[in-house]
Structure 1
Amino acid sequence: MALAELVSGNHTGLHRRLRLALNRRVSARTAVRLADLALMANDPALADEFLEISDGAPGLRAARARRLWYDGAVTDAVEVLEGANEPGTVFGERLAAEKRLLEGWAPVLPVCRVEPVPNRVLHLLTNSLPHTQSGYAQRSHSILRSQQDAGWETLAVTRLGYPVLVGKLGARVLDEVDGVRYTRLLPARLAATATGRLQQQAEETFRRALEFRPSVIHTSTHYVNGLVARAVAESLGIPWVYEVRGQLADTWASTRSPTARESERYRLFQDRESEIMRAADLVVTLGHAMKEKIVAAGVPEGKIIIAPNAVGGDYLREPLGVGEARAQLGLDPSAEFIGTISSLVPYEGLDDLILAFALLAPVRPKLHLLIVGAGESLPSLQQLARRSGFGGRIVFTGRVPRGVARTYHQALDVFVVPRKDLEVTRSVTPLKPVEALASSRAVVASSLPALAEIVDEGRTGLLVPPEEPAALATALETLLADAQMRLSMGQAGRTQVLRTRTWAANADACIQAYGRIEQARRSS
């Protein structure tokens, strides 16, 4: 039953069942399995309690290694399993390979110069449409389409084993979406370790590159993609681009205690990211806050360009009026709607949004909250909504198609981005508020550097202190009480986005930069 709670995302129920099991003093063998479940639920303290009663159980050393790895103690985790003659030996080999990867391992390819075809770019991606609908996949697709519109031929290659490894067992080797080709690397057998799989991926990507003959290779975070792109580009003698879309070490640390940022894993991960950024011919990133971190990592400022999250396609068309959008979604045209479209994860701060809504709901009886999206926080947010006393006015839609998401943008009176104050949220600029502004909707967001790059305080929206539901409620009340202010901010936001944040403009900037690095490579 505990496993069922984990699979369903009900971490509250999982913690309750684990605590009951601990109180019943389960067997050592069971305790080892439950320690692993506690780690998956991000409760290392509870995992420690289970490990304390697991003496002598099969697999205990592997469980202790997983516990150390969770904390980022890379060397200690590997050493726990060294010489282990028990289940977990294969796991120890995998951890040792992960350690080598973090410490500097890289794939090796033979030198094989071929004449590149001008205006061809190979993109190496972690995931993509149509199998993944994330912001990462949408950004990649928008970049590829805009580059094709600008006259470049593109080929997208996804990571080894994707999308079969995420459950798409009937996946084809080639998908085409809106004229964009996505090639899959699906060998009959995957290597057992991370280093083995990356060597496989480098070799498979190299074969695709020999056939396609790109003039530049473009990849994106995190560093394992950069390792493969660098190996292939150096073999072919062409330039390569590293696009920094996030700070994944900080994303990892955001789910752990503050000491995670002092861990061995965090340091090694950051070192590898910095190495890859410095090695690339060009670094692309999303905003000024991220650019500052890249410069701090030792990358020359002149080697960095900003290609912000942007809009194109339907978002360039005049948005629907609130009434028409709500009619399409079956929403009450006379009600008030605030909300967000987001991945439901802890750092998005949606618990603060529900608490702010609960402060407003008693005095605004027509107010409703829309939360569009899916993620690990859904069960806990639904429980918080029920406890608020206003659960009937809080709607969780789940994940919706991209076109429907655009309609939800247009159905809102105010779009909200209540992100927590963490290192990752201070530097990474999200896409959804940009789309909200393009939809002529005023935005209320946490006052964080990355969000302040998107929301022009007092002109296109309001910025509030993060993690303060009362301040968030006050800002929302200000906008809900003033329709003219909302309209003015929405119009200003759309004008600003169309002037500064379109995929076509990003494509032009990237293509110009491609030309510079190709020329520099030929001259070197």
Structure 2
Amino acid sequence: MKPWFRNLRLACGVVADSLADDPFQFLLQASRRLPAELVTPAARMLAGAAPAASTAVPVLVAELLRGDNDGLKRRMELALDRGLPPGKAAKLADIALAADDPVRADQFLTVSSGGRGHAAAQARRFWFGGAVNEAIAALDGERGPVPKNGGQLARLVSEQSLLRGWAPQLPATRMEPVPNRVLHLLTNSLPHTQSGYARRSQSILMAQQDAGWETLAVTRLGYPVLVGKLGANLQDRVDGVRYQRLLPARLAATPAGRLQQQAEETLRLALEFRPSVIHTTTHYVNGLVARAVAEALGIPWVYEVRGQLADTWASTRGPEAKESQRYKLFQERESEVMRSADLVVTLGETMKGNILATGVQEGKIIVAPNAVGGDYLREPLGVREARQQLGLEQDAQIIGTVSSLVPYEGLDDLVAAFALLAPSNPKLRLLIVGSGVSLPSLQDQARRTGFGDRVIFTGLVPSDQARAYHQALDIFVVPRKNLDVTRSVTPLKPVEALASGRPVVASALPALAEIVDDGSTGLLVPPEDPAALAQSLASLLADAPLRDAMGQSGRQRVLRTRTWDANAAVCVQAYRAAAAGRSRRSR
């Protein structure tokens, strides 16, 4: 089957399933795959052309896509005040959920009761809040001679089985592993995804190859077609690293079915590659596939804990989410997968403490922190040279960040701090490099400050440009919110900023305190406090010699303690020990 036809068939099947399952969430996710400079103006034009009192579904969708939360809430309140038919109320409940507004979703669901689409919307509301059993029960009552919402029900039942212990099953298969070969199972990768996750994976793979290991990286089933890359090939090579894609013409109908499909395909590739170890990353579904393949082949497997996805999910839903069935089952599943691995790798000491608390033996855990290599080891450009390369103002003072634009990064607090400083500092500019779900709302917030012409949003940029943007800043800012996930997980970007010789101002959270030495390489400030952030930024902006000293100190510290080559040396030594231990146990 020709690649384009295969990929198009795969994409069409996924789109059809997604539209049937959760159409407004799909539209929101799809819009984020498109250039913001196209989506946001088009949505703004549609919403602006509509009457101020319009509550038509397309108009509310336009408000959602352009990130105007105030406009969306106003129109939803108008719809509730006027009254609306049950079918439309169910659609507006779904729009409210896509906007992370469960309170209004509940109000619409009260109106939609008994109407068309109510059960499906009610199930999505339960699932949003983590009520797994209730979500299934909302659809289960719809069964009849012609099942309604059958696909949605099958997916939720399958998701429940994953949370409750289901795992792929593979037959024991004889294979003679080749020493110093490692198969990495990844969620996504370069060149199709430009993220901290993808960059860390690439750096690890390159460093392991430099250490004498042969690597093969296999990405999840359907990727990158699932993120809109219809021209994807079955293989990519990026700076000598081989990425293998799993691109069937069709995906299984349920999440569990897809994991079984992925496990079978990964086993097939492993038999060809013959690794001596399999290495995968959070979250637990990757671990289930890696474990099944490793056990079938009788080789060790490694689970790399890069984040706390249950806490990331809970961070957008309020404190009650941590009491939900979904959160608790997710945490239990993560813990079980970690305990079953031959080796657990993680990013920092705070995360190591969390892993120990799940019952993983300390001897099975190694810390491989986010690090730098390649161009970041070279002497960084000066501010003027970097700005000239990027076309930025030479005489401005520029603060900012290079980041994924998601709520827990706290970039709304950075925009608020900038707005406090801007009136008294006409040369101040705010630079935000990256993309993500928060981009439309941040752009709207910047406009509303009255200083929007001094805020620069670049969108996604290539990795070589990201390094130049680090070097163009006077101060790199990491204003993360105070959440479980941000207290534990250490990001990559501030490490790269320190390696670029720039001071870092960050939220005073345990994970960030592992990166930023307060007063030496940057400053730590109370999280979620724009006034305190503005004060710290103002003090550094007024003291160029201190900024330079902090930048030099930060670079020296990173080069001494955080390089990918050092991480690779630790990892491959642990691989050999795990392989030797597995060999002794199998005798």
- TM class, shorter-length: over 0.9
Please list the CA deviations of residues 427-454 of structure 1 after superposition, one character each: whole Å capped at 9, or x if unmatched.
0000110000000001110000000000
- State yes or no: 1:126 paired with 2:187: yes
Within the candidate set 275, 285, 307, 1:224 is matched to 285
1:252 is matched with 313
Within the candidate set 84, 107, 110, 2:168 is matched to 107
**What secondary structure does 2:423 align onto?**
coil
Q: Which runs of 5+ in 1 are unaligned?
A: none
Offset, 1:10: 4.2
**What aligned pairs does 1:79-98 form with structure 2 within 5 A after superposition?**
79-85=137-143, 86-98=147-159
Offset, 1:18: 3.0
**What secondary structure does 1:362 align onto?**
helix
2:385 is matched with 324
2:73 is matched with 15
1:494 is matched with 555
**What aligned pairs does 1:319-358 form with structure 2 within 5 A after superposition?**
319-358=380-419
- State yes or no: 1:50 paired with 2:98: no
Offset, 1:12: 4.0
TM-score, normalised by the number of residues in structure 2: 0.88
Offset, 1:16: 3.5
Within the candidate set 286, 304, 328, 1:267 is matched to 328
2:574 is matched with 513
Report the Cα distance in structure 2 between the residues aligned to 1:181 and 1:244, rounded to whole angstroms.
22
**Aligned CA distance change for structure 1 residues 83 and 462 (closer, same or farther; 3 Å):** same
**Aligned CA distance change for structure 1 residues 21 and 162 (closer, same or farther; 3 Å):** same
Within the candidate set 168, 179, 182, 2:229 is matched to 168
Please list the CA deviations of residues 377-405 of structure 1 after superposition, one character each: whole Å capped at 9, or x if unmatched.
12221222222222222211111111111
Within the candidate set 241, 246, 251, 1:185 is matched to 246
Which is worse superposed, 280-289 or 379-388? Answer: 379-388
- State yes or no: 1:481 paired with 2:539: no
1:32 is matched with 90
| 8 Å CA contact 2:194, 2:460 repeated in 1 | no
1:431 is matched with 492
User: What letter matches 1:203 in structure 2?
Assistant: E
Which is worse superposed, 25-34 or 172-181? Answer: 25-34
**What secondary structure does 1:369 align onto?**
strand
1:70 is matched with 128
| 8 Å CA contact 2:521, 2:550 repeated in 1 | yes
Which is worse superposed, 300-309 or 378-387? Answer: 378-387
Report the Cα distance in structure 2 between the residues aligned to 1:198 and 1:32, rounded to whole angstroms.
32
**Aligned CA distance change for structure 1 residues 8 and 211 (closer, same or farther; 3 Å):** farther
- State yes or no: 1:154 paired with 2:215: yes
- State yes or no: 1:299 paired with 2:360: yes
CA RMSD of aligned residues (A): 1.2
Report the Cα distance in structure 2 between the residues aligned to 1:184 and 1:425, rounded to whole angstroms.
31
Report the Cα distance in structure 2 between the residues aligned to 1:390 and 1:67, rounded to whole angstroms.
38
- State yes or no: 1:378 paired with 2:439: yes
1:407 is matched with 468
**What secondary structure does 1:30 align onto?**
helix
Q: Which runs of 5+ in 2 are unaligned?
A: 1-57
Offset, 1:83: 4.5
Offset, 1:205: 0.5
Offset, 1:351: 1.3
Report the Cα distance in structure 2 between the residues aligned to 1:520 and 1:448, rounded to whole angstroms.
37
Within the candidate set 232, 235, 245, 2:296 is matched to 235
TM-score, normalised by the number of residues in structure 1: 0.98
User: What letter matches 1:27 in structure 2?
Assistant: P
**What secondary structure does 1:53 align onto?**
helix
Offset, 1:9: 4.3
Offset, 1:357: 1.4
User: What letter matches 2:391 in structure 1?
Assistant: G
Report the Cα distance in structure 2 between the residues aligned to 1:315 and 1:265, rounded to whole angstroms.
40
**What secondary structure does 1:389 align onto?**
coil
Report the Cα distance in structure 1 between the residues aligned to 2:462 and 2:82, rounded to whole angstroms.
45
Report the Cα distance in structure 2 between the residues aligned to 1:295 and 1:407, rounded to whole angstroms.
38
Report the Cα distance in structure 2 between the residues aligned to 1:7 and 1:199, rounded to whole angstroms.
35
| 8 Å CA contact 2:499, 2:558 repeated in 1 | yes
| 8 Å CA contact 2:67, 2:444 repeated in 1 | no
| 8 Å CA contact 1:421, 1:466 repeated in 2 | yes
Which is worse superposed, 471-480 or 378-387? Answer: 378-387
Which is worse superposed, 424-433 or 20-29? Answer: 20-29
Offset, 1:8: 4.2
Offset, 1:523: 1.1
| 8 Å CA contact 1:35, 1:51 repeated in 2 | yes
1:365 is matched with 426
User: What letter matches 1:261 in structure 2?
Assistant: K
Offset, 1:130: 1.1
| 8 Å CA contact 2:120, 2:149 repeated in 1 | yes
Please list the CA deviations of residues 210-231 of structure 1 after superposition, one character each: whole Å capped at 9, or x if unmatched.
1110000000000000000000
- State yes or no: 1:312 paired with 2:370: no
Offset, 1:11: 4.0
Offset, 1:51: 0.9
Which is worse superposed, 460-469 or 24-33? Answer: 24-33
User: What letter matches 2:61 in structure 1?
Assistant: L
| 8 Å CA contact 1:58, 1:87 repeated in 2 | no
User: What letter matches 2:83 in structure 1?
Assistant: R
**What secondary structure does 2:217 align onto?**
strand
Which is worse superposed, 179-188 or 441-450? Answer: 179-188
| 8 Å CA contact 1:123, 1:156 repeated in 2 | yes
Offset, 1:62: 1.7
| 8 Å CA contact 2:302, 2:343 repeated in 1 | yes
User: What letter matches 1:5 in structure 2?
Assistant: E
Which is worse superposed, 361-370 or 119-128? Answer: 361-370
Report the Cα distance in structure 2 between the residues aligned to 1:316 and 1:63, rounded to whole angstroms.
51
- State yes or no: 1:202 paired with 2:260: no
Report the Cα distance in structure 1 between the residues aligned to 2:420 and 2:63, rounded to whole angstroms.
31
| 8 Å CA contact 1:372, 1:397 repeated in 2 | yes
**What secondary structure does 1:507 align onto?**
helix
| 8 Å CA contact 1:59, 1:87 repeated in 2 | no
2:99 is matched with 41
| 8 Å CA contact 2:130, 2:326 repeated in 1 | yes
Which is worse superposed, 230-239 or 132-141? Answer: 132-141
| 8 Å CA contact 2:131, 2:324 repeated in 1 | yes
User: What letter matches 1:487 in structure 2?
Assistant: D
Report the Cα distance in structure 2 between the residues aligned to 1:233 and 1:9, rounded to whole angstroms.
44
Please list the CA deviations of residues 268-294 of structure 1 after superposition, one character each: whole Å capped at 9, or x if unmatched.
000000000000000000001110000
User: What letter matches 2:516 in structure 1?
Assistant: V
| 8 Å CA contact 2:222, 2:247 repeated in 1 | yes
2:53 is matched with none
Which is worse superposed, 23-32 or 313-322? Answer: 23-32
Report the Cα distance in structure 2 between the residues aligned to 1:110 and 1:238, rounded to whole angstroms.
14
Offset, 1:179: 1.1
